[in-house]
Structure formats: C-alpha cells, structure tokens
C-alpha cells in the first residue's frame, strides 16, 4: 500500500462515496488503477447488499404531499433499519 497517495484515496472517495479505508484497500488491490479499484468497490458493495437483504427494516417515515391546487398528490414510504437513522437530519430533511 506504500504507492497509494492520500490524494489518490481522496479522488477515489470523491468518485464513489466509499469510505477512506475501503478506497485505500481497493486501490492497493487494484495496484493503483482507478477503474479496477471502482470495480473492487462495486463487488464489495454487492456482497454487502446480499448480506443485508434479509434484514428487517422496521423504522422509517411516511411522507404525503399535495400540489398547490390539490389535484395531484404523492405518498412516499422510506424505510431503514434503526430509529437512529430514521431520526437523522439526512433522512428527514
């Protein structure tokens, strides 16, 4: 991992929104190749998705909104695993 610079890690993080250590490990595994590193992160994400697929999501919010003239409306249900996330600013904003 010695050939991986902090700026490379930051660049990959900006491209993918993955964690810093995940980006560093992916770049090391891909020997500094950004395209390969993105693929490494994608495969890791798929594995995580499979592990989480059976988890029950019991928290969340239901949001209803109507148009200004009340002739259109929408109801959205957002679900998450924990109340901590459901009450977070990013979830309810």
Please give the pLDDT value at position 79.
87
Quote the pTM value: 0.54
Contacts of 52 (CB under 8 A, 6+ apart): none
User: In angstroms, how far is the first alpha carbon of the chain from the final one?
Assistant: 39
Q: Is 80 exceeded by the pLDDT of residue 2?
A: no
Are 22 and 45 in contact by the 8 Å Cβ rule? The answer is: no
Mean pLDDT of the chain, nearest integer: 87
Query: Average pLDDT, stretch 18-46?
Result: 91
Helix, coil or strand: residue 77: strand
DSSP conformational letter for 53: T
Q: Can you list the domains of the chain with their CATH numbers?
A: 6-52 (1.10.8.10), 59-92 (no CATH)
Query: Average pLDDT, stretch 37-58?
Result: 82
List the beta strands (DSSP E) in the chain: 59-66, 73-80
Query: Average pLDDT, stretch 33-51?
Result: 85
Please give the pLDDT value at position 1.
45
Q: Is 50 exceeded by the pLDDT of residue 22?
A: yes
């Amino acid at each position: 991992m010695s050939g991986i610079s902090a700026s490379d890690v930051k660049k990959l993080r900006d491209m993918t929104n993955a964690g810093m250590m995940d980006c560093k490990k992916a770049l090391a595994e891909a020997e500094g190749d950004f395209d390969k590193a993105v693929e490494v992160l994608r495969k890791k994400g798929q594995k995580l998705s499979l592990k989480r697929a059976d988890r029950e999501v019991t928290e969340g919010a239901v949001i209803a909104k109507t148009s200004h003239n009340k002739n259109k409306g929408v109801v959205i249900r957002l679900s998450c695993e924990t109340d901590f996330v459901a009450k977070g600013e990013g979830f309810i904003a």
